[in-house]
Structure 1
Amino acid sequence: MQLSASEAPVQAVSAQTASWVKWTAFGAGMGMAASTAVLAATSGLAVYFARQIVTPRRARDENLEILAVIDTPEGQQIILPANADTTAEGSYGLYFDGGTGYARIGAIRSYVPREGTVQRDVERVYSGDLATAVRGWWSGTIHPTPSDAGFPQEDVEIDVENGKAPAWLVRSLDATDTWAIMVHGRGAQRTETIRGLGAARSAGMTSLLISYRNDGEAPYTSDGRYGLGLTEWRDVEAAIRYALDHGARDVVLFGWSMGGAIALQTADKSPLGRHIRALVLDGPVVNWVEVLAHHARLNRIPAQVGRLGQWLISNAAGRTLTGLAAPLDLKSMDWVARAEEIRTPVLIVHSERDEFVPVGPSADLAEKNPDLVTFVRFPQGGHTREYNTDPVCWEDAVSGWLRTALGRTRRPGEHR
Structure 2
Amino acid sequence: MPISIPVLPFPAVSNVPAPATGLSAPWVKWTAFGAGVGAAATTALFAATSGLGVYFARQVVTPRRTRDANLEILALFDSEHGKQIILPANEDTTVDGTYSLYFDGGAGHARIGAIRSYVPREGTVQRDVEEIYSGDLAKAVRGWWSGSIYPSPSAVGLAEEEVNVPVDGGMAPAWLVRADPDATTWAIMVHGRGAQRTECLRAVRTAHAAGLTSLLISYRNDGEAPYASDGRYGLGLTEWHDVEAAIRYALAHGAKDVVLFGWSMGGAISLQAADRSPLSRHIRALVLDGPVINWVDVLAHHARLNRIPAQAGRLGQWLISNAAGRALTGLAAPLDLKSMDWVTRAEEIRIPTLILHSKDDDFVPYGPSAELAEKNADVITFEPFTQAGHTKEYNVDPERWETTVLVWLNNTLGRTRHPAVRRSEA
How high is the sequence identity, in percent, across the aligned residues? 76
Counterparts of 1:399 and 1:380, CA distance in 2: 22
| Aligned match for 2:361, one of 328, 343, 354 | 354
| Aligned match for 1:166, one of 161, 170, 173 | 173
* Counterpart contact for 1:174–1:204, Cα < 8 Å: no
The Cα offsets for residues 208-260 of structure 1, whole Å up to 9 and x where unpaired, read as 00000001110001111000000000000000000000000000000000000
CA positional deviation for 1:23: 6.9
Residue 327 (structure 1) aligns with = 334
Alignment of 1:104 onto 2:111? yes
Counterparts of 1:41 and 1:398, CA distance in 2: 47
Residue 12 (structure 1) aligns with = none
TM normalised by structure 2 equals: 0.89
* Counterpart contact for 2:346–2:372, Cα < 8 Å: yes
Counterparts of 2:302 and 2:245, CA distance in 1: 32
The Cα offsets for residues 193-220 of structure 1, whole Å up to 9 and x where unpaired, read as 0011111111100000000000111000
The Cα offsets for residues 296-350 of structure 1, whole Å up to 9 and x where unpaired, read as 1111111111111101100011111111110000000000000000010000001
Q: 1:26 to 1:106 in 2, by over 3 A?
A: same
CA positional deviation for 1:31: 2.8
Residue 214 (structure 1) aligns with = 221
Counterparts of 1:235 and 1:104, CA distance in 2: 30
Highest RCO, 1 vs 2 (Cα 8 Å, sep ≥ 6): 2
CA positional deviation for 1:155: 0.2
| Aligned match for 2:375, one of 353, 362, 368 | 368
Residue 270 (structure 1) aligns with = 277
Counterparts of 1:101 and 1:191, CA distance in 2: 14
TM normalised by structure 1 equals: 0.91
What code does the residue aligned with 1:277 have? R
What code does the residue aligned with 2:234 have? G
Choose 1 or 2 for highest CA Rg: 1
SS at match of 1:348: strand
Q: Extract structure 1 runs of 4+ deviating beyond 3 A.
A: 20-30
Alignment of 1:386 onto 2:404? no
Residue 141 (structure 1) aligns with = 148
Residue 204 (structure 2) aligns with = 197
Counterparts of 1:39 and 1:22, CA distance in 2: 27
CA positional deviation for 1:25: 5.5
* Counterpart contact for 2:156–2:205, Cα < 8 Å: no
| Aligned match for 2:406, one of 396, 399, 413 | 399
CA positional deviation for 1:380: 2.6
CA positional deviation for 1:33: 2.3
What code does the residue aligned with 1:123 have? E
Name structure 1 gaps, 5 residues minimum.
Answer: 1-19, 409-416
Residue 307 (structure 1) aligns with = 314
Name structure 2 gaps, 5 residues minimum.
Answer: 1-26, 416-426
The Cα offsets for residues 140-159 of structure 1, whole Å up to 9 and x where unpaired, read as 01101111111100000000
Residue 228 (structure 1) aligns with = 235
Counterparts of 2:217 and 2:223, CA distance in 1: 12
SS at match of 2:204: helix
Counterparts of 1:27 and 1:85, CA distance in 2: 49
Counterparts of 2:99 and 2:148, CA distance in 1: 6
| Aligned match for 1:34, one of 32, 37, 41 | 41
What code does the residue aligned with 2:172 have? A
Residue 120 (structure 1) aligns with = 127
CA positional deviation for 1:173: 3.1
What code does the residue aligned with 1:383 have? H
| Aligned match for 2:162, one of 134, 140, 155 | 155
Counterparts of 2:167 and 2:215, CA distance in 1: 15
What code does the residue aligned with 1:320 have? A
Aligned residues: 389
Residue 8 (structure 1) aligns with = none
What code does the residue aligned with 1:247 have? G
The Cα offsets for residues 128-185 of structure 1, whole Å up to 9 and x where unpaired, read as 1100111000000110111111110000000001110000000003521000000000
